[in-house]
Amino acid sequence: MAVTKLKPASTKNGSASYAAKDIQVLEGLDPVRKRPGMYVGSTGLGGLHHLVWEVVDNSVDEAMAGFCTKITITLHEDGSCEVQDNGRGIPVDPYPSGPHKGKSALEVVLTVLHAGGKFGGNGYKVSGGLHGVGVSVVNALSKRLIAEVDRDGNKYRQEFVDGGKPKSKIQKVAGASKTNGTSITFYPDPEIFASEGVEFVARTVLERLQTIAFLNRGLEVAFEDKRLGKKDKTTYQYKGGIVDFVKHLNVSRESLFTKVAYYEASEADQNIEIAMQWNTGYYEGIYGYANGISTVEGGMHVEGFKTALTSVVNKYARSSGGLKEKDDNLLGEDIREGLTAIVAVKLREPQFEGQTKAKLGNVSMRSFTQKETNTKLEEWMLENPTEANRIVKKAVAAAQARIAAKNARNAVRRKTALSGAGMPDKLKDCQSGDPAESELFIVEGDSAGGTAVDARDPRTQAILPIRGKILNVERARLDKMLKNTEVQALITAIGGGVGNDEFTVDKARYNKVIILADADVDGSHIRTLLLTFFYRQMRPMVESGFIYIAQPPLYSTEVGKEKIYLKDELAKDKFLKANPNHKKEFQRLKGLGEMDWQELRSTTMEAATRTLLQVNVEEAAEAENIMSVLMGDDVESRKQFIQKNARDVRNLDF
């Protein structure tokens, strides 16, 4: 594929010319290196790990086609990532026609965008890699890539360097091979991923691999970390598939009943698998997957499921007496309260929206999912009346709470209207009325709030001090939440409403909401409580990238007469490596109150010199699970999570 770049050129009279000579053509894999963000999302850690997903997805496609039973992912000490499977092996015979005639099929797949076995023919009936740019993009963004193929009793090897250039033609390796399969080992290019480096995060990889194992019943997914100081081995394999997935997501919650409802159906070139279980909590978690790809924005399969779910539960509630004749029907949100469900579909020609594949657009899948859910879920409820009656009872309670929450919302609105300007008294608002340039700093305590007011740019920066720790919304319904003074202040200041069913991100008064808390344990707890609130009640703010965490420095020291601030232990270590003869002490800054307003401005609030962490949600199901583990009632799950992930902690404060 070639990409054209329009490049103005000066003429003799100084005006810009626009002719054939001004068109720049990027050949082969050059477009990927020129605009990597278009292909892997970013050049940060997200893009780095996207390389792993692209290679792994190829192996998963082999598993979905029925030819692969094991995938092994290895992080090597030299910084490379190896993905190995026991599938059929990428074809190695010469390409038959066109400009690539004579090259091995392996070389074509690795060096040509939109080349693969997923655009027609009989190579794959279903595939997650239908955009076809996957492994060639990985090659383009690697300084070195080694492909090894076992196929038809032979071993083959080809190496690529400097962003996808073949080092030599494909080579047959001496010795026979008793199995088929493919191994791709790649070294991400540090020049491409310069912003956050090329070190893979084990937990990020493991979360994705576990999901893959859940979605592909019986598939063995093995992970090994061979890096110094991080050695680890983990294998995932689930005989129950998505039933085990639902149990995993609900493990830190109290289930409404022990059974997991499950059904599957197939027709023509499409298949659905659905598993669901309710818990006693207040939030729904419906996760859609299409050909193994997480459709975080839902799509037709999720729409069809929701429509049928509402219809089936209302029908059962009427017939069982859970709803009386005079009662209104239950709303979908009432029925889905506390629901954890996996809606996994496979189809031959999925219509994804863009390379990120966030939403499924196949209309046929909506009608198919709706039809099968209407039939099979109704059968399940009739066969399991105890569980079905608990579902109805919980939904009725949710409907009553919804009405109470509506009244509480109206009370908050009336209180806001009667208070004159409508904003919380302690909010020091900014002068700008443009959300795109307006920032709201949520500051821990009135003292730090006063310092932040002095440090801010009053034109674009607003300050809202909060007192103590806000309500843990993971354990409270909305009507209780709205009685909390600090929560009320947040809702009123931000605008846009509250509750994911009502909140409108376009009405938010700030496009940056920045949590500014101390760099200690209490500050971490406050950040977690606030993030839980935004995730559960204003989730579009998180999904839009509007939530940030300020990074006040943890240490200060002096170099000559100049005071130097260091963000964390990592920054301190880097400073000492660069300044090995530094003798001055490091002062540990336990609170924002230890800095005067000039220091707070220059280190934490001024746009030109500060560092902000943007909060986002990449894997919705895992994010939901972690939120419940960390903020729910299950102490043992929280303990296990901390023990398992302790090795990834960079800065721990007691």
Please list, in sequence order, all residues whose beta carbon lies within 8 angstroms of the beta carbon of residue 293, skipping any fewer than 6 positions away: 57, 128, 352, 357
The answer to whether 432 and 460 are in contact (CB under 8 A) is: yes
Please list, in sequence order, all residues whose beta carbon lies within 8 angstroms of the beta carbon of residue 275, skipping any fewer than 6 positions away: 241, 242, 243, 245, 246, 260, 261, 262, 341, 342
- The angle that helices 202-215 and 45-64 make with each other, rounded to 10 degrees, is 20
User: Which of 588, 606, 441 minimizes the C-alpha distance to 519?
Assistant: 588
What is the 8-class DSSP label of residue 35?
S
CA atoms within 13 Å, Cβ hemisphere of 396: 15
For 28, phi then psi, to 5°, come to 55, -125
The answer to whether 337 and 282 are in contact (CB under 8 A) is: yes
User: Which of 76, 145, 84, 79 minimizes the C-alpha distance to 110?
Assistant: 145
Please list, in sequence order, all residues whose beta carbon lies within 8 angstroms of the beta carbon of residue 224, skipping any fewer than 6 positions away: 72, 73, 74, 75, 232, 233, 234
- Active site annotation includes 522: yes
User: Which of 578, 559, 416 minimizes the C-alpha distance to 490?
Assistant: 416
The answer to whether 140 and 51 are in contact (CB under 8 A) is: no
Pairing relation of β-strands 587-588 and 285-290? unpaired
With tokens 């310069």, the residue in question is 194
- Active site annotation includes 596: no
For 85, phi then psi, to 5°, come to -135, 165
With tokens 């990238």, the residue in question is 545
- The angle that helices 202-215 and 620-631 make with each other, rounded to 10 degrees, is 110
In angstroms, the CA 487 to CA 464 distance is 12
In angstroms, the CA 574 to CA 566 distance is 10
Active-site residue (options: 85, 225, 429, 444): 444
In angstroms, the CA 357 to CA 364 distance is 18
Q: How far is CA 421 from the centre of its chain?
A: 38
* Number of residues in the chain: 654
Active-site residue (options: 264, 297, 457, 520): 520
Active-site residue (options: 199, 224, 522, 619): 522
Active-site residue (options: 82, 303, 372, 518): 518
Which residues of 249-392 form beta strands (DSSP E)?
A: 261-267, 270-278, 285-290, 293-294, 339-347
Which residues does the annotation mark as catalytic? 444, 518, 520, 522
